[in-house]
Amino acid sequence: MASPFSDEGIVLRRRAYGDADRILVILTRDHGKLSVMAKGLRRPRARNAAGMDLLARSQLLLVPGRSMAVLAQARPIGPSPGPPDPVGLACAGVLAELVDATVEEGHPEPRVYEILAEASARIGSADADPRLWLALAAFALAAVGGYQPELRVCVACGRELENREGRFVSALGGVVQGDCQAGAAALPCSAATLRVLRRMALADERTVLRLRWNAVLKDEVEAILIAHLEHHLDRPIKAARVLVELRP
Ligand SMILES: [Zn+2]
């Protein structure tokens, strides 16, 4: 029999299998993304259920199997999350889906793991705005993949962007301003949104956390990031629709 191995991991996807089992997709720190069979996980009082919610982080003991690893043991890492908040849950869903779409199975992605671990802890904590941390994580993932949006020059004419409103064109991967906005199927990008996006692109969390972050800004920043990532990944992020519906 193949020998068991341990790793820590964060749950990206879960689906029911058979009568009582679940197949989990987990991003592990050292072994990359893995599909894992969790036997009996759907039974009441299942032994390992505590650490197996979406974005839960656990120390895992896994046994290599014929088609996928089998979960032998999971021990949650860090504080257990507070009572579920719908916006936090929706943000967790978007983040899990984004990471799942970004990484391939079986290749270790230490930087993606780090981003995911930090963002999932922030999103699960009651004293942070989950939408802000989701946006920061989305930017960080785009930076790792080398597909950050263009925020320096107009993507239509190449002129330097001014401190004014424009529009974000996901097909072009950036912002257009002035005459270049005409006829473009695009999302609004106010001067304030452009400032926030630029700070996020610099991964300047401290400044971002001090910036004004109101409902209009949140909606614009989020819509731009989701559209940009969906365009790049060439697939819809389903959980993002839930987030839009929860907007106050
Ligand atoms: Zn232009």
Instruction: State which of 14, 49, 76 marks the end of a domain.
Output: 76
**pLDDT per residue over 17-62, tens digit each?**
999 999 999 999 999 999 999 998 888 888 777 668 889 899 999 9
Distance 152 CA to ligand 1 centre (A): 11
Is residue 93 situated within a structural domain? yes
Q: Would you say the C-alpha torsion 31, 237, 210, 125 has a positive or negative sign?
A: negative
Q: Hey, what's the torsion of the CAs at 135, 140, 236, 228, to 10 degrees?
A: 80
Residues 217, 152 within the same domain: yes
Of 102, 186, 209, the residue nearest 147 (C-alpha): 102
Average per-residue pLDDT for the chain: 90
Distance CA 37, CA 50 (A): 16
Ligand 1 centroid to Cα of residue 176, in Å, is: 5
Q: How many domains does the chain have?
A: 2
Domain for residue 81, yes or no?
A: no
What's the CATH code of the domain at 27? 2.40.50.140
Give the up-direction half-sphere exposure of residue 28: CA atoms within 13 A in the CB hemisphere: 23
Which of 19-28, 122-131, 174-183 is predicted with the least confidence, judged by mean pLDDT?
122-131
Give yes or no: residues 96 and 189 share one domain: yes
- If you measure from the C-alpha of residue 231 to the centroid of ligand 1, how many angstroms do you get, rounded to a whole number? 21
Per the CB < 8 A criterion, the answer to whether 51 and 75 are in contact is yes
Residues 76-107 pLDDT 10s:
887 766 667 899 999 999 999 999 999 999 89
With vertex at residue 149, the alpha carbon angle to CA 143 and CA 155, rounded to the nearest 5 degrees, is 145
Domain containing 11 equals: 5-76
Residue finishing a domain among 76, 106, 137:
76
| DSSP tag of 160 | B
